[in-house]
Structure 1
């Protein structure tokens, strides 16, 4: 069987090893593997259709998405801020993770506090408006708002982020 052949497994191992350092190279590494599966399927009398794989390429890519970290002092403020962010459609989802301990410099001394971490999934285009909303609504003088790009993921989930925000 093709999937257990030494050549296929060697190609797969090489591709997956290279992808660990560069996920954007996925299409380049999958092409030869898909070609081998297609050839093997055709030669064994089983037709392999690439139309499903190609359908994803023809669909418009969702807007660039980001994850934003915001810390709040307690669950109540976290719930209130998360609810206002979702209500205003500034994000599709806000996870609230209680019980984190933050150690940081503040006004010349080291502080440690228990906080709640908000993990916010949204579109990159909403970052400025989201940041302004957090600054306006937050009890901290200098609230944490840190954005990280989402490099990839479940296409349906990324599309849901886009559709669930303004």
Structure 2
């Protein structure tokens, strides 16, 4: 389910009036979505699959990180690769479904964060490169 972000169009009686407000309003429909996996190859496959499906405009794979977490009544430590997707809110449900289906973890990390502001050209590029099913 898509998180209940507060798009500018629902602000009672307010519409963006200056360039900064317009950029913030535009950015509110853009998300970064984070997941992790246990190998560089799997991370690249998740990234490529989402971009090929046009569910994300871009995906960045970060070098290994060390994750410490509770799992099945124990504290685990694992080396993981992070994948950060740039997408729009309308694509989130399909991106989450895609990642859940393609991921080999029982409970994959899939966290969406709204982008509060950004360069107009970059935000427009994300919008143009993604297609909500």
Shift of 1:98: 1.8
Shift of 1:120: 0.6
Relative to its length, the structure with more helix (as a share) is 1
**Structure 1 runs, 4 residues or longer, greater than 6 Å off:** none
Going from structure 1 to structure 2, the CA distance change for 1:91 and 1:72 (only over 3 Å counts) comes to: same
From 111, 115, 132, the counterpart of 1:146: 111
What is residue 117 of structure 1 aligned with on the other side? 82
Going from structure 1 to structure 2, the CA distance change for 1:139 and 1:155 (only over 3 Å counts) comes to: same
Distance across 2 between alignment mates of 1:66 and 1:161: 10
Aligned residue pairs, count: 114
User: Which runs of no fewer than 5 residues in structure 2 stay unpaired?
Assistant: 1-15
Distance across 2 between alignment mates of 1:123 and 1:137: 20
From 72, 76, 79, the counterpart of 2:41: 76
The 8 Å contact of residues 102 and 113 in structure 1, kept in 2 or not, is answered as yes
Larger radius of gyration: 1
Distance across 1 between alignment mates of 2:74 and 2:28: 41
What is residue 91 of structure 1 aligned with on the other side? 56
Which fold has the larger relative contact order, with Cα–Cα distance below 8 Å and residues 6 or more apart in sequence?
2
Give the TM-score normalised by structure 2: 0.78
User: Which runs of no fewer than 5 residues in structure 1 stay unpaired?
Assistant: 1-26, 32-52
Tell me the SS of whatever aligns to 1:153: coil
Distance across 1 between alignment mates of 2:94 and 2:36: 17
The 8 Å contact of residues 62 and 159 in structure 1, kept in 2 or not, is answered as no
Relative to its length, the structure with more strand (as a share) is 2
Shift of 1:62: 6.6
